[in-house]
A and B are shown apart, each in its own frame.
Chain A
């Protein structure tokens, strides 16, 4: 224990005296959450729509206004050339075209069936289906408002209530996952360099002529970074809350506790990498490959795990981010408590122990 404390203290000196690197590891996660948080916004807003009005009536004008008053649609910029309307879709100037044929207002007045025409760019499937749903809802709202106030349509309606993310904002879903990805990357990167750097500069050789044990070196090096990664975690969470307005329903203390476990597991990945390779370059490269792709693809951050092939699902169980994505969404959005999240935390602790044990076993005190 005595030695671990001194190794940790020495490591702290390295971190604090390399001021530039310290600033980078503090600023980088904040920059990342800011950039990626905006970049991966999947909300559908302001879809450019061209409306071609052949009816030229008050009603067709009202319907047009209703479309553009909604947050979902905005008018295309150019004058519509009706000789080839599809050209607008092909060139990507608009995502949809709505045609109001002549006779729209007359049909409304007489209460007859009538069809409006719509062409949607289907290259982005989720955008296209959203456009269909949004335009139906704009249209039915328009029609409902035209009914006399005391008019009742008998029948069954479905009263829907969306829990936890009532506005269905994608940022509320994605930003907590992004926190998991960013903390994974930055943590593994930090520790991946510590041992490799000492191997490169030759200080490790001097250390290895002392009776210090590999596990003492590894744990001593891990500890100071737990503090740094924890500070990173707090900063990133503050940003998620302030900039992206992600709700925080559950216990903040609980999230910090789980966060501590998560960053320690992530740091262990870097420690393992660092004990396997000999140069800084290999270490940083391996840390990025080993963390970024799995954390993005196999954590459930963007892509639902249960829709994946069996093999990928199986692999996802060794990706720590998978567990923390469940934890952070559970606590921030649903207010989940300890009892729900214990299995996730248990998996993280188990992974951490395995990673550190393998690192200690693979750490070579002697060149073979």
Chain B
């Protein structure tokens, strides 16, 4: 693969990225940078524009304006190259419910052009690491939600992507599993993967290296959780988030 020219630089670099749906502006001139090996948290209430932003970065949605690069490739013109280097886990379970976990992973392995021998090793490795166990041989639509999320994560990292996009990956799962899920994300980041994760759980935001807070399509604050708390003179991200949103609402009104 011709990756050498793209190894340096940022995993994600966007400038004034914007998306309109008719009169509605879902994402309004956002700019940010995510480095390899970093866990970047994308915070915001439902409808803040997080998913729209992620879908533009993954090549699923055309931006209306602004510029951006993912893995060093242009998001307008080189979406096909971007797709080789990213993994994506959507908010809604999007693997095939009528296929078993193993069949899903085998299929996605082929979609990423993994060689059959490598693929079966990789599936074995991920089954161990994500403790999927016997669940991998069951129809994925019948799995409990926590296991489905693990399977979806396995599918997203199967091909060893350099950038991982996770859209509310822990929605509806129990705290024990969330803790385990985040430890896996730390491992990935340690190995140099850029993890771009949206959430509206403030305790999860604490785990991120840097966060950006989105409100009505705009980024209203960005930085390391520790620094942000100090700047705003609060010791909880919860308070920080709520204060920010309230002051925004006040200036809008």
Contact = CB atoms under 8 A, between A and B. Distances in A.
A10 B95 CA distance: 12
Contacts of B60: 205, 208-209, 366-367
A2 interface: yes
B238 interface: no
B194 to A, nearest CB: 15
A14 interface: yes
Contacts of A205: 60, 90, 94
Given A10-B103, A366-B61, A367-B60, A211 B96 contact: no
B92 interface: yes
Nearest to B158: A210
Given A13-B103, A211-B83, A365-B59, A3 B96 contact: no
A38 B86 CA distance: 58
Nearest to B92: A202
Chain B CB within 10 A, most for which of A17, A202, A211 = A211
B126 interface: no
A10 B99 contact: yes
B40 interface: no
Given A206-B88, A206-B94, A211-B80, A13 B58 contact: no
A209 B62 contact: no
Contacts, number: 75
Given A203-B96, A209-B86, A366 B111 contact: no
Interface in B77-126: 79-80, 83-84, 86-88, 90, 92, 94-96, 98-99, 103, 106-108, 110-113
| B contact residues, range | 20 to 34
Which one of A208, A210, A365 has the highest number of Cβ atoms from chain B below 10 Å of its Cβ?
A210
Contact of A3 (B86, B106, B111): B111
Contact of A368 (B62, B88, B111): B62
A74 B92 CA distance: 69
A329 B104 CA distance: 45
Contacts of B58: 209
Interface residues of A, number: 26
A195 to B, nearest CB: 14
A18 interface: yes
Contacts of A202: 90, 92, 94
Contact of B62 (A14, A201, A203, A366): A366
A342 interface: no
A356 to B, nearest CB: 20
A358 interface: no
Nearest to A16: B98
Contacts of A10: 96, 99, 103, 107
Nearest to A204: B94
A42 interface: no
Contact of B113 (A9, A208, A209, A211): A211
A6 B98 CA distance: 15
A209 B83 contact: yes
Interface in A1-26: 2-3, 5-7, 9-10, 13-14, 17-18
B138 to A, nearest CB: 13
A366 B60 CA distance: 5
Contact of B111 (A13, A17, A18, A211): A211
A7 B55 CA distance: 23
A365 B106 CA distance: 22
A207 B155 CA distance: 11
B110 A13 contact: no
A210 B85 CA distance: 9
A211 B84 contact: yes
B196 to A, nearest CB: 13
Contacts of A211: 80, 83-84, 111-113
B79 A14 contact: no
Given A206-B88, A206-B90, A6 B59 contact: no
Contacts of A3: 110-111, 113
A317 to B, nearest CB: 37
A278 to B, nearest CB: 14
Interface of B: 55, 58-62, 79-80, 83-84, 86-88, 90, 92, 94-96, 98-99, 103, 106-108, 110-113, 155
23 contacts: A2-B110, A2-B113, A3-B111, A6-B110, A6-B111, A7-B107, A10-B99, A10-B107, A13-B96, A13-B98, A13-B99, A17-B98, A18-B98, A201-B94, A202-B90, A202-B92, A205-B60, A205-B94, A206-B90, A207-B111, A209-B87, A211-B84, A366-B79
Q: When A and B form their complex, which 9 residue pairs have the shortest distance between CB atoms, in order from nearest? A: A6-B110, A206-B94, A209-B88, A210-B111, A211-B83, A17-B98, A202-B94, A367-B61, A10-B107
Given A7-B111, A205-B60, 11 more contacts: A6-B106, A7-B110, A201-B94, A202-B90, A203-B94, A206-B155, A209-B58, A209-B60, A210-B111, A211-B112, A366-B79
